[in-house]
Amino acid sequence: MIVTWALGHLLGLRMPEDINKEWQTWQMETLPMIPKKLGIKPLPKTGGQLKAIGQLTKRKDVKEVVIATDAGREGELVARWILEWVRCDKPVQRLWISSQTDKAIKEGFRKLKPAKAYDDLYESALARAKADWLVGLNVTRALTVKYQDNLSAGRVQTPTLALVRQQEKQIESFRPQSYFVVELLVEDAKARLVQKNPYALKEHDQAQKLVDTMSQSNGRVTDVSEKIKTENAPLPYDLTEIQREANQRYNFSAKKTLSLVQSLYEEHKIVTYPRTDSKYLTHDMKLTMKERLQAVADFAPEVKQYIKNGAVVNQKAVFNDAKVSDHSALLPTEQRANYAKLTNDEQKIYQMIVSRFLMLFAKPHKKMQQKVTVQFGQETFNFTQNKVLEAGWKTSDEGKSSTVQWKKGSSVSPNFSINKELTTPPKPLNEGSLLGKMEKFGLGTPATRAEIIEKLIKSDLMERTPSGLQVSPKGKQLLELVNPALVSPELTAKWEKELEAIAHGKYSGQSFLQQIEKETKALVKEVKTSEKKYQDFALTQKKCPECGELLREKNTRDGKIYVCSNPDCKYHRRKDPKISNHRCPQCHKKMAIIESENGAFFKCKFCAITEKIPNKKERSKKMTKHEERRLMKKYSQAEEPEESPLAAALKAAMEKE
């Protein structure tokens, strides 16, 4: 077997300028761009690998090709485009695996299927790529040309941005209101007055009148009921849930979590395929449970007991073939982890996956729940207390239980308190809660959601803040300027369902694209005829020294920069000085690089000390670490003892002889 690679992607759809010369210039007259055939082209710097794959497929000793890219929609597209580009005419098989252990790979090779079995998946991936090209490029060009600023729109990213903005609007329109709550205290137990509207008591006098009325006589326990509640363990993670929980626990971005799980899957081979949308397992996976447990035997003391019990899964609902599409839930593989090779962040994610997996083998959580109803005339108070009968998969404490011995019909003294409270505003969306909303509305797939969030941030449409995600002034305007149909998540969710139907052979990719073409024409027409105004908030009052146009502030990986707003002018400069790794000799803090007419120099913003930046020749003269160590060793050795008088006399005597 010959193994070669695709480096993620080697090919992409041709860009407008590759299809039609008239489309090279961004202008309204050429929109919408609806090519009869899109076609593919190599991505930059991939020619060498494409040529190598082409040569391999043409070798006489190569009888067939096996697609072994990611077992999913995008993985299928990556491989099919390569085979199309190199004009492969040999039989093609598909390797479909969910983990990269030697055992899983060997098992996968024993169950190779003809690539034709995955043609519908390829059609779905192709339809998705073409739909994004049609909508994204056309609407982005229309908005950018019309409003003279880089305004990026897309069929998934725009409704995602709208979800964040909707939450912001709720926060902006929120007005805090004070209200009063009445509580009844019985020994160490406390309960609130039951009301249809919990905010009904707006004034203290209202609450006081109610308390005065109830205090005229004792209350009565009208009902005491006990019920055993059984709570089964949660299902294993899918990608979206682990991204949400890692964001909540460790403040990891969705992209970072995906990268960590991908590393555990590809490099360490200790978890299953990460880009899964399922929390379920197939029935045939029951046979693998013991080996997976043995791989994590040192993880917790109870694991050895689970193995002794025959690796019996107590959470029976996890096995459901109907709810596993391409890949099952995230699980540890049969390969033991080498913790020394895992980074701190990789360990955190691996522990989350293993902990959730082990819950499947634990017993259900059982508790006795006692509900008590106390009435003062027409007013009701409900007391609830829980007693844990069997902790099971839950290790967390349920909290202190009340010591009150309740009896139906017993009398209760009127011991009330009145507390003033304020209504709280909704919280801004963070990456975890946004992922949950994207999943609810069917925006994107588990594999693409993290990238969509990153794209919105890179396009300056959305920002990360300590309190959560925030739509930028540019993003707010975009949502006002773009077609309402593109803002609504319903349309995009409908498209995602149709793409899923194409993948299962229940809908035609051609019909889907015809519909997308109609939508594209309508979206572009809407932008063209719009009379809405746009204000560029990134435009500063600073003038370009080269052409005199205003400078625009732009975010980059390297910090904020100023760029000229004139598209024909290439002038740009940093907004703030770049911080180097060079340390100040006085305070030892990193020094800034200051650009001046006489060249660049280091400057400490704390001590105002300046230093010349050494040129290449001066830097090469610097002592290397090796030379430094050699000299340190030489001069740190203990000095040789001086020659003693006796030794000197003997030496002189020997010389005379």
246/566 Cα distance (integer angstroms): 43
Task: Identify whether 273 is a catalytic site residue.
Answer: yes
268/338 Cα distance (integer angstroms): 8
| C-alpha triplet 385, 391, 395: angle, nearest 5° | 105
* Other Cβ atoms closer than 10 A to 592: 17
517/34 Cα distance (integer angstroms): 7
Strand order across the beta sheet in which 539-543 lies: 539-543, 550-556, 559-564, 572-574
| CA-based radius of gyration for the chain | 34
Token pair of 592, please? 């800034």
| Residue closest to 369 by CA, chosen among 350, 351, 383, 359 | 383
Q: What are phi and psi of 319, to 5 degrees?
A: -90, 105
Strand order across the beta sheet in which 219-231 lies: 379-390, 365-376, 219-231, 411-412
Strands 92-94 and 65-67, sheet pairing:
parallel
Residues sharing a CB contact under 8 Å with residue 160, sequence separation 6 or more, in sequence order: 434, 438, 443, 444, 452, 453, 456, 489
Which burial class, exposed, middle or buried, applies to 545 when counting CB atoms under 10 A from its CB (0-12, 13-18, 19+)?
exposed
Q: What is the DSSP letter of 136?
A: I
| Residue closest to 61 by CA, chosen among 90, 103, 26 | 90
Which burial class, exposed, middle or buried, applies to 444 when counting CB atoms under 10 A from its CB (0-12, 13-18, 19+)?
buried
584/603 Cα distance (integer angstroms): 8
| Residue among 147, 237, 273, 280 flagged as catalytic | 273
Token pair of 27, please? 């202008």
Sequence length of the chain is 657
Cα separations in angstroms, 360 against 172, 194, 312, 318: 43, 38, 9, 8
| 3-state SS string for 258-295 | HHHHHHHHHCCCCECCCCCCCCCECHHHHHHHHHHHHH
Active site residues: 273
